[in-house]
Structure formats: structure tokens, C-alpha cells
Amino acid sequence: MGVARLALSAKGFPQRAGAVARFYLDGLIAAGLAALLLTTFVIGTFYIPSVSMVPTLQVRDVLLVDEIAYHLHSPQEGNISVFRPPLDPAGSDFVKRIIGVPGDTIAISDGAVYRNGTALHEPYENQAPRYDLAIREYGIYVDGKRLDPRAAEIPPRSSWQAPNRIPGDFYFVLGDNRNYSEDSHVWGFVPARNFVGRAFLILWPRNRLAVLTK
């Protein structure tokens, strides 16, 4: 009788083992698909090729970029953002810090950056900018000279809500290494449509692993 029970029990074992195997296999497949979707549509990587964001980012750093963030909310002041270059959207992506958002006033004078009339506290800055800047008269003026709309992203007057404020759907960005960065003081504003995502982590090299905050 005991032998019969053992035989019946053993007969059901392959079925239970197969169910367990299928359970774990399904879990692994789901996890793999989730990872694929995450890396394909949500998280990207970005390699730092230049010194424009020193000291925050060093040449050869590899960043993780949240590519869904700006589908959920607008870019925020202080974000380290990846975007397509305004004048060459097909070119290599850029990474800079967002300094001004639509509706802000921006000025740079005597080495200090002012947003809405208040000097920014910028511990991340490598060195004070050696240029003056103002947004006024529907343009960006650097050392008193207006950026040429033919060579910079300066929207037409009809797109501005005020002559001295960043127009709607445009952003003002600077590199942390102010005097060695091609940014809004060279090529103007970044259109909202050009943003790729927000950098949130230095992934590599291992000794540089760090979360990027505002």
C-alpha cells in the first residue's frame, strides 16, 4: 500500500516541477522584457566628451538619463539636462544645466548670474563667467552685442510674452565650466521639443558613482 502511494506521488512530481519551472521562466521573461523596455524607452546613457560641465561632470563620465521625465513634467531650473542642439537637431546631444525657464529674467553681471533679479548661489560653478549677458528687447545680448538670430536660437518677436523674459517653450542653459562652454550665451535658447531627458546618475567610472541633484 505504501509503495502504491509513493508511485502515485512520484507520478505527479514531473507535473509540479514543470509548473514551478514555467513560473520562474515566465518571471525571467517578464523581467527581461521590463529591462529591455526600461533601457529602450525610459533610461538612456550619455558619455561626456568635453570639459563644459566640469567640475560636476568630468570627461569620460557616463551618465544615466531619465528619458521619460520631461513627458511627465516640464524641465526644471537646476536640472542637468540632455538635449538636441538647437541649431543642429541631428547633431550629437548636449548636456548643460538649466538656469532659466519660460517667464524668467536672466542677467549676468560682474561674474554673477541673476534670475528674476536675485543672484544665484552656485557651488557647482567652476569659475565665474567672464562675460556680461542680458535678455532684453526680444533678444540675448552678450557684452552688449545681440546674438544674431540667423546663428542662434532666438525666436521671432511674436513668440515672446515680454521683451525681457524667456519666451514660452524655451529654456536658458549654461555649462558649469562657464568660460569653456558653448551654451545659451553662444547659441541662444533651447526649445522644449529638443529635450531628451534629465541626467540623474554618474554611472561610470566606479569611483565617480554619484546621484546628480539640482
CATH number at residue 157: 2.10.109.10
Q: What's the length of the chain?
A: 214
Residues 159 and 65 in one domain: yes
How far apart CA 190 and CA 83 sit, in angstroms, is 8
pLDDT band at 70 (very low <50, low <70, confident <90, very high): very high
Same-domain pairing of 24 and 114: no
Could you give the angle at the alpha carbon of 190 between the alpha carbons of 118 and 123, nearest 5°? 40
**Whether residues 206 and 181 fall in one domain:** yes
34 and 58, same domain (yes or no) = no
**Do 70 and 132 sit in the same domain of this protein?**
yes
pLDDT in tens, 165-214: 999 999 999 999 999 999 999 999 999 999 999 999 999 999 999 999 87
* 110 plus 141 within the same structural domain: yes
CA nearest to 65, candidates 212, 180, 186, 167: 212
pLDDT on residue 123: 95
Dihedral class, residue 137 (left if φ above 0, else alpha if ψ from -120 to 50, else beta): left
Share of the chain above pLDDT 70, in %: 81
| Mean confidence (pLDDT) of the chain | 87
pLDDT at residue 8, rounded to an integer: 36
Supply the range of the domain harboring residue 29.
1-42
Looking at the predicted structure, is the pLDDT value of residue 11 above 70? no
What pLDDT was estimated at residue 89?
Answer: 83
State yes or no: pLDDT of 77 exceeds 50.
yes
Q: 163, 176, 175, 171: which is closest to 188 by C-alpha?
A: 171
At 213 the pLDDT is 86
Active site residues: 52, 96
Same-domain status, 28 and 89: no
Q: 181 and 196 share a domain?
A: yes
One domain, residues 23 and 56: no
Q: Taking 90 as the threshold, does the pLDDT of residue 12 lie above it?
A: no
Q: What's the average model confidence in pLDDT over 42-69?
A: 97
36 and 90 in a single domain? The answer is no
Stretch among 82-91, 99-108, 165-174 having the lowest mean pLDDT:
82-91
- Over residues 92-112, the mean pLDDT reads 98
Q: Are residues 83 and 135 in the same domain?
A: yes
* Domain count across the chain: 2
Does 26 lie in the same domain as 115?
no
